[in-house]
Chains A and B, each alone.
Chain A
């Protein structure tokens, strides 16, 4: 099990980068990393020695983030329903402020649908091969490449001048 902990520690800088790519925000990324490491440690008995630990942990992180975003959108829906829009304007304003503060790349990534964003980040930033990225997400390779293609197209349009 020492191998597990050592490898996990060595992987932390990359995990933090992936978390940032998924969340576009430093506080969420830190929380996501913490939750992912906790989950990975709790489940370390289930990891098969000899298999790739990084793909296993990336998968945990990616699933954790999906759970979190779903829970958030559930909370947001409940909130709007109960307060009948009284606070919608406030939320939108806060959103607009946040958007001013974040950079072009974060903004462009944030606008992508989650499924395209994770495909783009895994392949272009984290450097996984198509096959590996498809395994991490749990989809066929053809699905991955089509999401990747659409995500890229959107980013190229958005970042046209900088990219």
Chain B
């Protein structure tokens, strides 16, 4: 029974049919050299993802989401007025080079910083921008709007996503961690479908976040302990509701400390 390097690679990548996979796995089980090789292949994937996944968890820079929100607003404007003059949208196939993109990106950053420094009076660069913002409000698009600046929650099209310190807590903190840490993790579990989820409670916000596409999607949020009871860390009915909701989502039992450590170590894959 011989196994080619290509077959071993395809096994590691999940590209073999069940029959082929069974044959290669049997060969691997009988040959320590192959087993080591397969292990190395799998580890390589873990190392690469461990290095690059954090990029996908960073908050997306505003100029990028703004760019799309503006385009969406233009499309809506077009839909609403039916026959608006051509020419707002750049011509298809327009040449875009990176240096020019960088200049636009930096200008957008600068404009934002200026706006942040100046008096809190909305100043719109031009009427189209004002219209774009108004349209996106009216239509409830609000694409990619950061809710609390560099805060713990970012809105994306997929929904509310944890960012900043909340994302870091969800990534790394165990439920048994010192409970003076803020927010606290109340429980970790796997839901139906296999995604990992975590219940967290903070003074500002509590909720349930589930791991999807390398981000923590907030499945459920509620005001945190401070606002909810007026008294810090009194386990209010809110937390009981959250735990009950978690119970409903859960597949099997919550993770124990060892399972949770393993999940943290494998970056919640």
Of A30-38, A84-92, A93-101, the one with at least 4 CB within 8 A of chain B? A30-38
Task: Choose from A14, A33, A64, A156 the contact partner of B213 (Cβ within 8 Å).
Answer: A14
Residues in A neighbouring B79, C-beta threshold 8 A: 1
Answer whether residue A136 sits at the interface, using C-beta atoms and an 8 A cutoff.
no
How far, in angstroms, from A95 to B234 measured CA to CA in the complex?
A: 56
Q: Is the CB of B96 within 8 A of A31?
A: no
Q: How far is the CB of B259 from chain A (nearest CB, A)?
A: 24
* A68 closest partner in B (C-beta): B98
B65 contact from A12, A20, A21, A67, Cβ within 8 A: A12
Separation of A148 and B97 alpha carbons in the complex (Å): 28
Contacts of A1 in B (CB 8 A): 72, 75, 79
B6 and A103 contacting across the interface, CB-CB below 8 Å? no
B215/A13 in contact, CB under 8 A: yes
Q: State A31–B17 Cα separation when bound (angstroms).
A: 40
* Chain A 95-129 per-residue mask, 1 if CB under 8 angstroms from chain B, else 0: 00000000101100000000000001101110001
A149 with B5, Cβ < 8 A, contacts A2-B75, A7-B157 known: yes
Looking at the assembled complex, report how far the CB atom of B60 sits from the nearest CB atom of chain A, in whole angstroms.
Answer: 5
A contact face: mostly helix, strand, loop, or mixed: helix
Closest beta carbon of chain A to B104's beta carbon, Å: 7
Q: Is the CB of B96 within 8 A of A64?
A: yes
Which secondary structure dominates where chain B touches chain A? helix
From B6, B55, B72, B214, residue with most partner A Cβ within 10 Å = B55
- Contact of A162 with B64 in the complex, beta carbons under 8 Å: no
Listed residue (B67, B90, B93) with the most chain A CB atoms within 10 angstroms of its CB: B67
Smallest distance from the beta carbon of B111 to chain A beta carbons, Å?
15
A43 touches B213 (CB 8 A): no
Contact check, A6 vs B9: say whether CB atoms are below 8 A apart. no
Of the residues A2, A12, A106, A130, contact of B13 by C-beta under 8 Å: A130
Comparing B25-33, B44-52, B118-126, B250-258, the segment that makes contact with chain A is B44-52
Q: CB within 8 A of B64: which of A12, A71, A145, A159?
A: A12
Known contacts A34-B63, A105-B47: does B97 contact A5 (CB below 8 Å)? no
Contact, CB under 8 Å: A43 / B93: yes
Interface string of B213-231 (1 = CB under 8 A from A): 1110000000000000000
A138 CB–B CB distance under 8 Å:
no
Interface string of A133-153 (1 = CB under 8 A from B): 000000000000100110010
How close is B26's CB to chain A, nearest CB, in angstroms?
22
Contacts of B53 in A (CB 8 A): 17, 125
Given A68-B98, A130-B13: A10 and B157 interface contact (C-beta under 8 Å): yes
- Look across to chain B and name the residue whose beta carbon is closest to the beta carbon of A44: B71
Interface hub of A9, A10, A125, A129 (most chain B Cβ within 10 A): A9
A34 touches B157 (CB 8 A): no
Q: Please, how many angstroms separate the alpha-carbon atoms of A21 and B43 in the complex?
A: 17
Q: Is the CB of A6 within 8 A of B64?
A: no
A11 to B76, CA, bound (A): 21
- Asked if B98 and A31 sit within 8 Å, CB to CB, the answer is yes
For B15, give its contact among A16, A41, A129 (CB under 8 Å).
A129
Query: Which residues from chain A contact B5 at a C-beta distance below 8 Å?
Result: 149
State the CA gap A41–B102 with chains docked (Å). Answer: 17
Given A12-B156, A43-B92, A123-B13, verify A5-B56 contact (CB < 8 Å): no
- Complex contact A16–B101 (CB within 8 A): no
5 intermolecular pairs with C-beta atoms under 8 Å apart: A30-B105, A34-B64, A34-B102, A34-B105, A156-B40
Q: Which 8 A-B pairs have the closest CB atoms?
A: A5-B72, A10-B157, A35-B101, A17-B56, A13-B56, A105-B51, A34-B101, A1-B75
Please give 6 more A-B residue pairs, beta carbons under 8 A apart, in addition to A5-B69, A12-B68, A64-B98.
Answer: A13-B214, A34-B104, A71-B97, A125-B45, A145-B10, A163-B47
